[in-house]
Chains A and B, each alone.
Chain A
Amino acid sequence: MAEQSFDFQKNVDTALADTQLRANFAYAMSTLYQKRKAVFADKAETERLREIGNAVRQRALSKLPELLEKLEKKCTENGIQVHWAETTDEANRIILDIMNRHDAKRMAKGKSMVSEEMHLNKFLEEHGKEVMETDLGEYIIQLAGETPSHIIVPAVHKNKDQIARLFHEKIPGAPYTEKVEELNALARKTLREKFQHADIGLSGVNMAVAETGTLCLVENEGNGRMCTTVPPVHVAVMGLEKVVEKLSDVPPVLRLLTGSATGQIITTYFNMITTPRKPGEKDGPKEVHLVILDNGRSTILRDPELRQTLQCIRCGTCLNHCPVYTRIGGHAYGFVYPGPIGKILTPQMEGLEKTGGIVSASSLCNACEEVCPVKIPIPELIRRMRNESYDPKGTVSGHGYKWNLPEVLIWKAWALANRYPKLNELALKAGGLFGNRFPKIGPLRQWTRVRTAPRLSGKSLHEMVKAEGVDHE
């Protein structure tokens, strides 16, 4: 895959130089930030709700094998066919098989980050299938041949002029218009046609309830309901961590999700699917399939600290509050999940050595942790990733890839110099004598590229105090 090696620094430089991109993100993120703030105005109540969210998600993870078995049993009893995929490749093949079995050629697709993780569209298109993204944002980026730059608002990097040109060029017969209402109407017309004629619908899953075998979908547009109701077959894909234990766990998580994601008390639609079309019912898919994907999640679960990553409900609010994401946007991160959550999730899925050092792109300001609806300690986990990068005995894939002898020796020397006063004195003296003449090479040059190097004093504080004769008291 092309995205497996990328130059993060170059991406950052490109993004920072793109004033349009920065303006688009700055505006959108401050809007989302304000909207969230308005729905979570009551601090004490919000804190309680986050505590509940944390409890629901942790409880689910603590019983994950049991809950997944129960979910499978309940779904099967309800007539939903459950499939297990250890890798994204397996998941893609399961879906292709289902399509082939039904001789299905056209897929109408609702928003699903897991399907992005699987690169499902590309896979199906290579096998001659037509895949149509139907969430407006996803549709826009599909037309542009791009990937989502945000978990919730995938086309947020584009402004309406760019979308106007795109629609005019890519939708047959579409007039050029910059009016948002008209652009929406164009999408509505084109996509309604697709819903009507799709052979199969695909959706993600925001929560799956083990108690009843119910798949929950949260959305505003109605395309999710279209994809899960109009075509004769519905395939839902979910990461295996998305299960919750009971139906009563749903209301608090829903409230946290919609409030954090878009600052809404509730979305337009909350869609709960428990069975395929029953005898006598006039619509709904005759077959419903649930594909449950692992893709490294079971490994993440093994580590008591890192498993907190799996509490994530994909609301995207850590992106909206991140000073780094807000400036560089989602594409710079090079993988499906950008922003703070991406910094801890991507290395665990793809391996630290492949992620181009995205874990260093954080000021550890803690904003993400303060707003996370399920209280994932993201900064702590970012620090863990940084440590893992240097730790030959670490546990995350790619651990220790940054380990190098010079750095180890420098830190050893630093530790020694700070342990023995005589050595410290000697080091300071040496620093005062030669420090300013030290050539700016390697990391030193990097560091001074955008900063003025400090001038080291020729005399240490000790010496100066001694020379001036200041009394000990």
Chain B
Amino acid sequence: MSESARERIFSKLRPAVAAGRFDIPSPEPPPRPEWTRSEKVEKLKALMEAVRSEVHVVKADAWTDALKALARRRGFKTLLYAPGTPVGDAVKQAWSEGSGGLPALRTYEGTIENYKDTLFHDTDVGITSTRGGIAESGALILWPDAAEPRLMSLIPPIHIAVLEADKIYGTFIEAMEAMAWPEQMPTNALLISGPSKTADIEMTLAFGVHGPKELIVFILEP
């Protein structure tokens, strides 16, 4: 059935596009703002905070100290991290230097099929890296992979993301070009701008409807 449906659809589409002309305009592409690194950091921070993300700009060599201080202050219980990634290894190293009052470290064991219960019911916080950020939109770019699975940034009620200031691009299109997206699209690419939200009840904005209730971003400056 499916095969013949395909044939039938294409036999209608081909003459249809040939009928009459299309009048396609050729506008100039949007301008690309020339922002310095600190301008991009400021822009991204302001936009993300406006949608209730928590953004900390810290020195790259001190970010795990800031993370530990935050985790202690907030009383996190469990932290899901990805060993084998620069962010995950830094977390592990920092915890090994003293983990009093810190959340217990967790790793994503096996596949979702057997890890679902723990992930859904017994994980406070997930920490992931990012591929970059987009200043103009106020969004993080995530390319989850085998080391850092997709659900780490979705199921735990708090998502912590680590972003290097040097990897903030002005616009989405610049990020695509710089990272050659067309040649290497991953399983799943994500833009994330804040915690999960909805305004489906009386246009009243509420956070944490399905995904994380909080998004905490550490921007690492060299």
Name A's B-contacting residues (CB within 8 A): 24, 27-28, 31-32, 45, 48-49, 51-52, 54-55, 58-59, 61-65, 68-69, 83-86, 90, 93-94, 134-137, 140, 153-156, 159-160, 163, 180-181, 183-184, 187-188, 191-192, 195-196, 211-212, 214, 220-223, 225-226, 229-230, 232, 240, 246-248, 250-252, 254-255, 262, 264-278, 280-284, 294, 298-299, 301-304, 307
CB distance from B32 to the nearest CB of A (A): 11
Q: Is the CB of B16 within 8 A of A160?
A: no
CB distance from A368 to the nearest CB of B (A): 20
Q: Is the CB of B200 within 8 A of A282?
A: no
User: With a CB–CB cut-off of 8 A, which chain A residues contact B120?
Assistant: 192, 196
Q: Is the CB of A302 within 8 A of B9?
A: no
Query: Taking the complex as formed, is B67 at the interface, i.e. its CB lies under 8 A from any CB of chain A?
Result: no
CA distance A181 to B27 in the complex (A): 44
Q: A248-B173, A269-B192 are in contact. List 4 more A-B contacts (CB 8 A).
A: A84-B9, A85-B2, A211-B182, A223-B210
CA distance A90 to B149 in the complex (A): 35
User: With a CB–CB cut-off of 8 A, which chain A residues contact B12?
Assistant: 294, 298-299, 301-302
CA distance A61 to B16 in the complex (A): 10
- Name the residue on A nearest B195 (C-beta): A268
Q: Is the CB of A184 within 8 A of B198?
A: yes
Which one of B145, B204, B209 has the greatest number of beta carbons of chain A within 10 Å?
B209
Q: Is the CB of B13 within 8 A of A301?
A: yes
Q: Is the CB of A84 within 8 A of B5?
A: yes
Query: Taking the complex as formed, is B62 at the interface, i.e. its CB lies under 8 A from any CB of chain A?
Result: no
Query: Taking the complex as formed, is B70 at the interface, i.e. its CB lies under 8 A from any CB of chain A?
Result: no
Query: Taking the complex as formed, is B130 at the interface, i.e. its CB lies under 8 A from any CB of chain A?
Result: no
Q: Is the CB of A83 within 8 A of B112?
A: no
Pairs A-B, 7 closest by C-beta atoms: A222-B211, A304-B20, A137-B200, A298-B12, A270-B191, A283-B112, A51-B27
Q: Is the CB of B188 within 8 A of A229?
A: yes
Binary A-proximity of B158-200 (CB < 8 A = 1, otherwise 0): 0000000000000111001000011001111111111111111
CA distance A264 to B8 in the complex (A): 40
Neighbour of B206 across the interface among A134, A159, A181, CB < 8 A: A181
User: With a CB–CB cut-off of 8 A, which chain B residues contact A262?
Assistant: 199
Neighbour of A266 across the interface among B138, B188, B200, CB < 8 A: B138
Given A65-B10, A222-B209: A274 touches B186 (CB 8 Å cut-off): yes
Binary A-proximity of B6-37 (CB < 8 A = 1, otherwise 0): 10111011111101111111111110000000
Main secondary structure of the interface of B (DSSP, over half): loop
Q: Is the CB of B201 within 8 A of A160?
A: yes
Interface size class of B (residues with CB under 8 A): 35 or more
Query: Taking the complex as formed, is B202 at the interface, i.e. its CB lies under 8 A from any CB of chain A?
Result: yes
CB distance from A79 to the nearest CB of B (A): 10
Q: Is the CB of B15 within 8 A of A55?
A: no
Q: Is the CB of A274 within 8 A of B209?
A: no
Which one of B10, B26, B138, B200 has the greatest number of beta carbons of chain A within 10 Å?
B200
CB distance from A287 to the nearest CB of B (A): 13
Q: Is the CB of A283 within 8 A of B149?
A: yes
Q: Is the CB of A140 within 8 A of B200?
A: yes
Given A86-B9, A277-B187, A278-B187: A160 touches B154 (CB 8 Å cut-off): no
User: With a CB–CB cut-off of 8 A, which chain B residues contact A214?
Assistant: 185, 189
Neighbour of A282 across the interface among B6, B136, B149, CB < 8 A: B149
User: With a CB–CB cut-off of 8 A, which chain A residues contact B94?
Assistant: none
CB distance from B110 to the nearest CB of A (A): 7
- Name the residue on B nearest A137 (C-beta): B200
CA distance A113 to B201 in the complex (A): 19
A-B contact pairs, 28 of them (CB 8 A): A51-B25, A51-B27, A65-B17, A86-B5, A90-B1, A137-B198, A153-B199, A163-B201, A184-B198, A184-B201, A212-B181, A220-B197, A221-B197, A222-B196, A222-B209, A232-B113, A255-B137, A262-B199, A265-B47, A269-B190, A271-B188, A274-B189, A277-B187, A282-B110, A282-B146, A283-B150, A303-B19, A303-B20
Q: Is the CB of B146 within 8 A of A281?
A: yes
Given A155-B200, A229-B154: A48 touches B27 (CB 8 Å cut-off): yes
User: With a CB–CB cut-off of 8 A, which chain B residues contact A140?
Assistant: 200-201
CA distance A219 to B189 in the complex (A): 14
Which one of B137, B146, B210 has the greatest number of beta carbons of chain A within 10 Å?
B210
Q: Is the CB of B190 within 8 A of A272?
A: yes
User: With a CB–CB cut-off of 8 A, which chain B residues contact A94?
Assistant: 2
Binary A-proximity of B64-100 (CB < 8 A = 1, otherwise 0): 0000000000000000000000000000000000000
User: With a CB–CB cut-off of 8 A, which chain A residues contact B3?
Assistant: 84
CA distance A341 to B156 in the complex (A): 39
User: With a CB–CB cut-off of 8 A, which chain A residues contact B212?
Assistant: 222
CA distance A85 to B1 in the complex (A): 9
Binary A-proximity of B42-61 (CB < 8 A = 1, otherwise 0): 00000100010000000000
Neighbour of B139 across the interface among A28, A270, A274, CB < 8 A: A270
- Name the residue on B nearest A140 (C-beta): B200
User: With a CB–CB cut-off of 8 A, which chain B residues contact A247?
Assistant: 176, 181-182, 185
Q: Is the CB of B2 within 8 A of A268?
A: no
Q: Is the CB of A251 within 8 A of B198?
A: no
User: With a CB–CB cut-off of 8 A, which chain B residues contact A229?
Assistant: 150-151, 154, 188
CB distance from B76 to the nearest CB of A (A): 20
Q: Is the CB of B181 within 8 A of A220?
A: no
Given A31-B203, A180-B206: A222 touches B16 (CB 8 Å cut-off): no
CA distance A69 to B27 in the complex (A): 27
- Name the residue on A nearest B6 (C-beta): A84
- Name the residue on A nearest B176 (C-beta): A247
- Name the residue on B nearest A160 (C-beta): B202
Given A155-B201, A268-B195, A268-B197: A136 touches B209 (CB 8 Å cut-off): yes
CB distance from B108 to the nearest CB of A (A): 6
- Name the residue on A nearest B139 (C-beta): A266
User: With a CB–CB cut-off of 8 A, which chain A residues contact B150?
Assistant: 225, 229, 281, 283-284
Which one of A64, A225, A274 has the greatest number of beta carbons of chain B within 10 Å?
A225
Q: Is the CB of A254 within 8 A of B172?
A: yes
Given A65-B14, A271-B188: A265 touches B210 (CB 8 Å cut-off): no
